[in-house]
Amino acid sequence: MALAAEDSVTIDVNVTETASIIVVPDTLNWTTTNTGQEGGVKYLTIKNAGSLNVTDINAYVDTLVTESIRPYGSGDPKSYSAGGVLTLRNETDTDFYFAGRIEWNWTQDIPNHDWSNVTSPVAWGYFRNTSYDYVWVLGNGSNGNCNDTDAQFAISDLIDLGTTPTRAPDDNNIGNPDNQDENYGYFSVSRATAPLYHYCVAAYWDCTKIFIYHFDQRTGFNLCVNSEYLQEDDLAPGYTIILEVNPFIPNGIPSGFLNTTTLTVVAT
């Protein structure tokens, strides 16, 4: 009769506290997009690869770096940042939001305009959302800047048809900036009929451009009331969220590859 022998060993494993996220894939590209249309949805997976819960997940693109000079009038697609056409949708929203779009001061007159809703109109332009354009206007404040506490932003609810009613931007439920710093005045659009409803609009101090975003929580940009997180609740270790990404290509963009941008995802 064979005799068996056994013993046991106690095993302890301590996992150190690490905060880490992984975003895959690391590259997205669209090679055949048309002006005035969407490029098509692609997906990013954001995974908690660390050992701690992460929260307050947000994202931003470097459009302000990769489109640092007014591109209008240029036939070079590299003058335009790919970040300016990128839109994002999280798992709870029904709408896509531009990740970080710049609209520059038009510099020329817009005929048939009506700036009567703005006290000191100083800059204007078009918000271009695929095949639709909407006219906006900035009014500078008492110090002559668009980041003054009494600066104004207004945008038309109507698609631009070249007529005065469609070129009469409204500042109702926008008004003056929520906050401001040395660079921007931060406006939130809460008028449900506005094409930028739920967006933040950061007006550059010298009134040369506006920066349109929703999920950007960088210092300063988080001063806008409408700035939100992709996910504010805890994301447990090993769990993922899915982010939908879709380029919205406005009319009037030169053919070719736009200037490459970087989408950065941040978690606390």
Q: What is the pLDDT of residue 1?
A: 64
pLDDT of residue 124: 97
Does 88 map to a domain?
yes
Residue 28: inside a domain, yes or no? no
244 belongs to a structural domain: yes
In a domain, 1, yes or no: no
Residue 19 is encoded by which pair of tokens? Answer: 């905060």
Q: What is the reported pTM?
A: 0.92
Residue 266 buriedness (CB in 10 A; 0-12 / 13-18 / 19+): middle
- Residue whose tokens read 């932003």: 153
Q: Look up the domain containing 201 and give its range.
A: 33-266
In the chain, which ranges are E strands?
21-24, 37-38, 42-48, 58-61, 86-89, 97-98, 101-104, 121-129, 132-139, 152-155, 179-180, 184-188, 200-204, 209-213, 240-249, 263-266
Q: What is the mean pLDDT of each run of 10 residues along the chain (268 residues)?
A: 81 87 92 93 92 89 95 92 95 92 96 96 95 96 94 97 97 93 96 96 97 95 93 84 94 93 91
Q: What is the pLDDT of residue 155?
A: 98
- How many structural domains compose the chain? 1
C-alpha to C-alpha distance for 111 and 127, rounded to whole angstroms: 16
Q: Considering the domain boundaries, does residue 12 fall inside one?
A: no
Evaluate whether residue 110 is within a structural domain: yes
- Does some domain include residue 197? yes
Inside any domain, residue 19: no
